[in-house]
Structure 1
Amino acid sequence: MASVEDNKSKTSFAEEGQDILSLSDGELLGNARKLAEGRLVRKLDMRLLPAIVIIFIMNYIDRTAISAARLKGLELDLHLTANQYNIVIAVLYASYCPAQIPSNMALNRITRPSIYIGACVVLWGLTSAMTGVTHNFAGILACRIFIGLPEAAFYPGAMYLLSRWYTRKELALRSAILYGGLLISNAFGSLIAAGILSNMEGKGGIRAWRWLFYIEGAITILVGFLSMYLLPDFPSNTRWLTPAERRLAQVRLSEDAGEADEDTARDSAWGGFVLAVKDPKVSIFALMMCSQLLGFSFVNFFPTLTATLGFNTTISLLLAVPPWILATIVTCITAWNADRTGERFFHMASWWVVVIIGYVIGVSTMVVAARYVAMFLMTCGYAGFALTLVWVSNAIPRPPAKRAAAIAIVNGFGNLGNLMGSFIWKAQWGPEYHQSMYIGIGAMALSCILALIMRIILIRENASLDASELSSATRERIHKAAQLEGIPIAEALEKKKGFRYLY
């Protein structure tokens, strides 16, 4: 039987509400809930998603501009050896990977993530532009080290921010749209690079590859300032939502996991990190991410791979566009279906098998048409990768401090695969790159095995949920969920019992 306090809580929440489209707060959570929730999600989609997609496009355009610049004399002008170029590619990850963990731990405590993320975008845009003034190995090395620090805030931070707004069965598609920014950036980046490198050579007495960094860096700085206005903060304090909308946003997340998406007084940033480190699922996800990114390391050398088809610089850059457009479409369709079904493993692993097929074709022939088809298959594998951090959020939903740390640990450790991958596409192995592709096949096979292990673990954890005891922190979040939803605590406890991990 509901307590008097529970009923008072329910009544008080109904009475304290604000209007949204002329609806009271009580009505908002009642009969008009579906309409109001649809409007809220559309508002988020129209503002949050375009902002983070544009940021992600600029993130990878800035990061991979060096690959395009290589085709137009960067190595010659800076007197770089082949090994020094590989070091320049790899060193970004030396700062990018470890910085993600403290950044996401801090993001969970910062009240205005829109300002934090926007400021980081401005900083990496400035550092990218400064790459254009370098004249030697030491200068470009310093720029690559420092660009990794502000970039570390974005992808794990954006994924965590999405998880604070969207439910488990909404998150995959939104995350894929975000990751589509990365994939399409490879297409846009090649198009922009082709235009700048073919038309800006010698303008103002400046080499075209330097103009590439100046122009792309300036655009990123502008995007950073705009994102401070466009991005939301958290459901409890976003300025461009009404009080009723903010409450509805919190209710949606509490209903999704059976407990409020908030840290208790005992859930510190460090405590969340410790919980994440102790959870074996985090270690498996981290290794899975690392092996994937080793298998996908061709992304930093894609213009070099298209150049092996035997065409000039401009055509090689244009040939890099279609595979990434297809990959973007495939990624969004896969994520849409993953949201509808709630299934994770097969939506991911099946595309990693496609990558393996692409590599097998690549090592089997040097025929131009077949090798180009292999590149399409290789890029489509990102449809599986885009769901990895979604699966992390689904498998480690609460407390938010633990989820923030887990996302950062998985993505930070995982990007060591990119660091290692910077050295497996050696110039002396080209133009066939057979050794590189064999490493890629092994890495993708390991990813499939680890994903299968994770699926088995989550099936077993689901089977034991009914028998498990609730911790005091979990009970506290359930009580908060009952208050947010205006329901008795007993009903909230029953909802929690219905929670299951997605696998």
Structure 2
Amino acid sequence: MTAIEPKKGRLSLFAVFKEVFNWYPAEYPAEERKLLFKLDVSILIFACLCFFIKYLDQTNISNAYVSGLKEDFALNGNELNYFNVCYFTAYVVFQVPGLLLMSRPKLARWLLPTLEVLWGIVTFAQCRVTNVQQIYACRFIVGMLEAPVFAGIHFILGSWYSGPELFKRAGTWFICNPLGTMVSGYLQAAAYTNLSGAGGMPGWKWLFIIDGVITVPCAILGFAIFPGIPDSPRPFFLTEGDIELAKKRLARAEIKRPGKLGLDVFKRTLSRWHIYVFVFCYICMIISSYPSGYMNLWLKAEGYSVTQINQLPTVVSAITIVASWLGTTLAAIYPTWIIYTIVEALLMFSTLCMIVWNIPKPLKFVAWYLFGFAGCTSPILYSTVNTIVKGDSEERALILGSMMTIGYSFNVWVPLLLFPTAGPDGAPRWRKGWPVTLVFFFLLWAGFITATVLHKRR
């Protein structure tokens, strides 16, 4: 049984609770449970650190913008959007090449730690910028170096795990996204309060220094513990027996190991429905998720203090952490389409509140915070891709990369049209943006249901 198939029979509440924490099933042989533990300690620790730092470095520009960067550089209009455009342009261009490189066994083990060291250095550099053009350049380089991280780690997880164990670990790993966003807010608030003026620098510049100090040591750790994929050079903590067992697990789960990489991967991928449906789903996810990350702009417009602007949105991140872990885990127990339907219904309710806009302030806070439930939609979607396309390693890498490439290409221009920072329809009101968001939340749900139906019919 795969994780996207309906689960047989009914589970009691206690059985569900037990299954949520059942990472090492008793029916597994002892050596297999030991292998899973080794993989969790190595892959998940580095993947979580890497992903946490990626979102720490990705969101610090927004926190810096509302904490003094805008005033220090006399910015106005859509500069914050332009910062993100530079980042996502590079992110898009280098996505598929990065994923295809990640599918190569000899490169899979070293690529992510190397890229993390490099983007840590560029993160440091942002504390010394003297004009807005330098910020644009730094954001482009960081986007280029971070491009393969998200989809690449999903690819790595799908190369070692399968079924419910994959869903549980993908959800646990994904909590580092909101955790990085949340910690970035607290770090910026602390830097603004305690470090403003230290070393002759404003508080927002200290955030980049702190992020760089965190990034580089974690990247160095990756060189020692990140195992790549089962066909990569063996790390010190895995025995030859572990590797053989891992390969037997892949054969048992019908997960194809890497083969020859050639142009044929494009031909066979484009001849199947997978890439079209999953890329469509991710486009919908990207467009619908964009405005929910800008609660800080609403708080700034409402006149909240800098500390409150940085801290209050962390509640969204806290909800996202719980939703990412629990929602994805429940998707390994119950049919995924049920979990997806419940989550999308909550998100569409929040969006309707934003379309109406003139609602009581407590309800507005509830609407912003409910967006945190979107945290489980991405790991469920990517785990479903890993499950459905497990029979072709190169196709799986190409689809994961294409989802990010084409999906994030919309982040290059859609925000400028639908989510402008300034103007009568600008942030956070977005008279055009919120209705479009509602449509794409619905289309995301419809696309996911379509993928589930097509796979079952096969």
When the two structures are superposed, what TM-score results if normalisation uses the length of structure 2?
0.88
Deviations 1:48-72 (A, max 9, x none): 1121111111101101111111112
Partner of 1:159: 154
State percent identity of aligned pairs: 19
Partner of 1:8: none
1:52 matches 2:47: yes
CA distance in 1, matches of 2:414, 2:380: 21
Counterpart of 1:368, as a letter, is K
1:395 matches 2:388: yes
1:361 matches 2:353: yes
Partner of 1:291: 284
CA distance in 2, matches of 1:420, 1:392: 26
SS of 2:390 mapped into structure 1: coil
1:189 matches 2:181: no
SS of 2:110 mapped into structure 1: helix
CA distance in 2, matches of 1:164, 1:438: 39
Q: Judging changes above 3 Å, is the alpha-carbon distance between structure 1 residues 247 and 125 closer, same or farther for their aligned structure 2 residues?
A: same
1:337 to 319, 324, 330: 330
Deviation at 1:161, TM superposition (A): 0.7
CA distance in 2, matches of 1:330, 1:300: 16
Contact 1:295–1:440 at 8 Å: present in 2 too?
A: yes
CA distance in 2, matches of 1:224, 1:50: 12
1:241 matches 2:233: no
Partner of 2:374: 381
CA distance in 1, matches of 2:95, 2:71: 33
Deviations 1:347-402 (A, max 9, x none): 22331221111111223334221111101111212212221111111121122111
Deviations 1:307-366 (A, max 9, x none): 34542110121111122112211221111121234x332322331221111111223334
1:324 to 307, 310, 317: 317
Mapping for residues 207-286 of structure 1, pairs under 5 Å: 207-236=202-231, 237-239=233-235, 240-257=237-254, 261-264=256-259, 267-286=260-279
Contact 2:92–2:147 at 8 Å: present in 1 too?
A: yes
Deviations 1:383-429 (A, max 9, x none): 12221111111121122111111111112212224334533332322
Contact 2:350–2:367 at 8 Å: present in 1 too?
A: yes
2:450 to 424, 441, 453: 453
Mapping for residues 418-433 of structure 1, pairs under 5 Å: 418-423=411-416, 424-426=418-420, 427-428=422-423, 429-433=426-430
Q: Judging changes above 3 Å, is the alpha-carbon distance between structure 1 residues 209 and 244 closer, same or farther for their aligned structure 2 residues?
A: same
Contact 1:64–1:300 at 8 Å: present in 2 too?
A: no
SS of 1:311 mapped into structure 2: coil
CA distance in 2, matches of 1:336, 1:298: 26
Q: Judging changes above 3 Å, is the alpha-carbon distance between structure 1 residues 230 and 96 closer, same or farther for their aligned structure 2 residues?
A: same
Q: 39-48 or 117-126, which moves further after superposition? A: 39-48
Contact 2:113–2:220 at 8 Å: present in 1 too?
A: yes
Q: Judging changes above 3 Å, is the alpha-carbon distance between structure 1 residues 309 and 404 closer, same or farther for their aligned structure 2 residues?
A: same
Q: Judging changes above 3 Å, is the alpha-carbon distance between structure 1 residues 98 and 168 closer, same or farther for their aligned structure 2 residues?
A: farther
Deviations 1:1-35 (A, max 9, x none): xxxxxxxxxxxxxxxxxxxxxxxxxxxxxx99611
When the two structures are superposed, what TM-score results if normalisation uses the length of structure 1?
0.80
Rg bigger for which structure?
1
Deviation at 1:165, TM superposition (A): 0.7
Q: How many residues align?
A: 426
Counterpart of 2:243, as a letter, is R
The structure showing larger relative contact order (alpha-carbon pairs under 8 Å, at least 6 residues apart) is: 2
Where structure 2 has 5 or more consecutive residues not aligned to the other structure, the ranges are 1-25
CA distance in 2, matches of 1:61, 1:421: 23
Contact 1:349–1:384 at 8 Å: present in 2 too?
A: no
Q: Judging changes above 3 Å, is the alpha-carbon distance between structure 1 residues 229 and 112 closer, same or farther for their aligned structure 2 residues?
A: farther
1:126 matches 2:121: yes
Q: Judging changes above 3 Å, is the alpha-carbon distance between structure 1 residues 162 and 200 closer, same or farther for their aligned structure 2 residues?
A: same
SS of 2:333 mapped into structure 1: helix
1:437 matches 2:431: no
CA distance in 2, matches of 1:284, 1:219: 38
1:67 matches 2:59: no
**Would you identify which runs of 4 or more consecutive aligned residues in structure 1 move more than 6 Å?**
none
Contact 2:109–2:229 at 8 Å: present in 1 too?
A: no
1:205 matches 2:197: no
Counterpart of 2:129, as a letter, is T
Q: Judging changes above 3 Å, is the alpha-carbon distance between structure 1 residues 275 and 349 closer, same or farther for their aligned structure 2 residues?
A: farther
1:347 to 339, 350, 372: 339
Mapping for residues 93-132 of structure 1, pairs under 5 Å: 93-132=88-127
SS of 1:111 mapped into structure 2: helix
CA distance in 1, matches of 2:69, 2:141: 19
SS of 2:253 mapped into structure 1: helix
Deviations 1:280-323 (A, max 9, x none): 22111111101111111125523223434542110121111122
Contact 1:48–1:230 at 8 Å: present in 2 too?
A: yes
CA distance in 2, matches of 1:334, 1:87: 33
SS of 1:387 mapped into structure 2: helix
Q: Judging changes above 3 Å, is the alpha-carbon distance between structure 1 residues 296 and 261 closer, same or farther for their aligned structure 2 residues?
A: same
